[in-house]
Amino acid sequence: MKLIGSITSPFVRKVRVVMAEKKLDYTFLQENVWAPETTIQQSNPLGKVPCLLMEDGGAMFDSRVIVEYLDTLTPVGKLIPANGRERAEVKCWEALADGILDAAILVRLEKTLRPAEQQSQEWMDRQMSKVHAGLKSLSSGLGEAPFCSGNHLTLADVSVACALGWLSFRFPEIDWRGDFPNLAKLFDKLSERASFKDTLPQ
């Protein structure tokens, strides 16, 4: 398998962490989707990464579809419960973590791609309120539990840690560590895993 992505994308990181946790082999193809010469649309018409290229040449996106697929490839390090309420719970954690990222990324794009006089503060405030409400919800959902869902590592933890890591990388002014020590504790614990150490955004 080949994974098209960038080392700064939190969605790509989620896929890479899952690959590592499940001990799956792949070739990482780095692609700057913002460069005019990018060929990403040949694989993903939406022009986004991550995009997984399978052995038969087929392409798969987005990160949620990819990680769900990867989890079926081997029983090693099962990250998504097989069915029922537990499965939906893990997917809902992922949706919340990804949603925080979607909102924060919109703010970053507004700030970096638009000239200052065209930027909408109202729009950015709206997105930022989702980020803050999302963080609060992650923290109250976690409480003092060792993992987000159940009693072992799942895709919920992977998704949350990738979102928190990216916020620290791109929005260091958001003090989620100070505001939510339980999230910091979870994040620090996960950061010790090789899968996270080897995929730091930089």
Would you tell me which residues interact with ligand GSF (CB under 6 A)?
9-11, 33, 47-50, 61-64, 98, 105
Shortest separation between residue 33's beta carbon and ligand GSF, angstroms:
5
Distance in angstroms (rounded) separating the CA atoms of residues 155 and 95: 11
Task: Output DSSP code: residue 117.
Answer: G
Distance in angstroms (rounded) separating the CA atoms of residues 129 and 141: 18
Helix (H, G, I), strand (E, B) or coil at 191: helix
Shortest separation between residue 39's beta carbon and ligand GSF, angstroms:
13
Output 114 or 189, the one with its CB closest to ligand GSF: 114
Distance in angstroms (rounded) separating the CA atoms of residues 54 and 196: 24
Output 9 or 149, the one with its CB closest to ligand GSF: 9
Is the Cβ–Cβ distance between 60 and 66 less than 8 Å? yes
What distance lies between CA 121 and its chain's CA centroid?
25
Output 62 or 86, the one with its CB closest to ligand GSF: 62
Output 50 or 165, the one with its CB closest to ligand GSF: 50
Comparing C-alpha atoms, which of 164, 157, 147 is closest to residue 17? 157
Shortest separation between residue 10's beta carbon and ligand GSF, angstroms:
6
Shortest separation between residue 102's beta carbon and ligand GSF, angstroms:
7
Shortest separation between residue 183's beta carbon and ligand GSF, angstroms:
20
Residue 34 tokens, joined: 């913002």
Output 162 or 183, the one with its CB closest to ligand GSF: 162
